[in-house]
Each structure stands twice: as C-alpha cells, then as structure tokens.
Structure 1
C-alpha cells in the first residue's frame, strides 16, 4: 500500500507531521510526501493507494492536492488539528454526496492521529466497511497469543489484522485472477 502525505507546514519539526508520518508507517504503508527527507516527491507516485492531507485554513495548495486526488479517484483523508476552521472549498467537497465514497474529513489531536489513520485505511483502502461474510478461524493457543500481541502493537482489532494479511497475500499472488 502506498500513501502520499501532503502537509501545508512542510517541516519535519512540526509535531503533527511527525505523529501522522508514524501513524501511516505503523499502518504498514509505503510513504511518499512533500516533506524533504521523507521519500520526497512533488508528484503522486505510480501505484498510489491513498492521499492524506494535513490542511491549513489559510492554504489553497491543499485544495489543489485534494482536487488532483479526486480526479485520479484516490481515497483522500483531509485532516485539520482540532479547533481550526474548515476551508470553504473543503467544506463543499465534504458535503458532496458523490465524493463521500473517496473523501473523509476529520479533526485530530496527537492522541487520535493513529486511530483516525487506521480507520481511514481500513475503510477506504481495505474496504472493511463492506465485509459481510463471517468466517470462523480455529487457532491453537500460541497462534492466538501472537495474533493478540500483534494486533495490540498495531492498534487494530484481530479481525482487521487478519483481513490486512489476507489482502496483502492476495495482492502479491500472481496466480490469482479474481
């Protein structure tokens, strides 16, 4: 999974940038960004799966990045730190019914950053909101302990972790034609 992180405050010293980068990397994503020193790229890379934008009420550039991602039909997470005003153009995009399938807007704090990133990736990249089939998985005690430990470290529930692993295997399986 490849995620492009765009920030209007293009310095690695800015604490929200650091938290969001860590959250994206902890979700297992390959990260590209407009930040110098973090897989620097001004253009979207090939094979891009999602775009995360740390916006600013004053910046128009973030709106252009969102528009480009919409044009390329990539899922977008637009973030503002709690208490900031939503730019009018982003407000209009978030209210558009057709774009709700690819666009998510959220306020965040340093404590909620990783949860919001994880939920976005699950919902828009892995499409966990459409999972409807129940499956019983029988494990021995050792595997169950490992699954519990790993899911706790990644801050996701066990079912989501198993889904991610299966999605990853499916993506690398050249014989599968589904």
Structure 2
C-alpha cells in the first residue's frame, strides 16, 4: 500500500476549484468591474480571514499562526482557479491599460445561485463585505494597508507561545 498522492489528484481545499470559486464570488459581487490578479490575491485573503480586519465578520478559515504569509503563496493557485473558471465561461480576461484584469461574466451570478451550501453563503456574504469595504481603494492604498498589517496577521500565536512558555517555567 502506498501513501503517495496520485499525480492526477486535485485537492478540493485551497486548490484551483475552491480558490477559483472564491474569486468568482468576489468578481460576481463587483460585476461589471474587473480586478487585477494582485487585488484578487489580497481580496482572497480578506475573504477567508475577514476577522483579521478591524470590524470584519468572523473568518471562514481558522486563525492559524503566520497566516499573513498566505498572501505571498496564493498567486499561482489563484491564477489556476481563474483559468479553470474562465474555461467554463464564468470569468473573462479583460485587457486594458495597466495590464490584464479579470471580470465575472453574465453567467456568473446564475451559476452561483445554483449552489446552496453554508460555505458558499458565507463566501458570498464576505465577498459583499470585501468589495464594499475595499473595492474603492486604489492599488497603492490597498498595498499600503497590506504592508502595514501583514506582519500582525497570525503573529498573536507567537506572543501566546512566548507567554505560555514563561508561565510554565
């Protein structure tokens, strides 16, 4: 018996299917606006770790140590997810001054309306919150916000472990 994962296996968690669905929720909320990949990377983090933002709703994913670093590794998987949903006609690439952007299509909302899970309902609520709260920020403002806070997202675990170690000594 082998414990190796088959090369054709695609994880449903934080893989292209799930992350693409999260991007689709954001883009559908923002429709007809189109967002650059970097904005979608940041918005994906905000979507699942909304409780890292003051006044944000409860996060969909657990508060893990050093989760701020997730922003640095999401880009490739988000690209794969966008490509997957683009191949199904649910996301489109928009070429304009400033680069390549992504937008929902006229089929996106109908597709999301056919899905009825608690997780998707939470995604859609948080996508509304993300777009309403941060959609109007320009790229420089959004980047500055992330740079100012990224080191604190998940850092509370470092302090807790130091305090716990001191208590047991």
TM-score > 0.5, shorter chain as reference: no
* Greater helix content: 2
Q: TM-score, normalised by structure 2?
A: 0.29
* Greater strand content: 1
Q: TM-score, normalised by structure 1?
A: 0.28
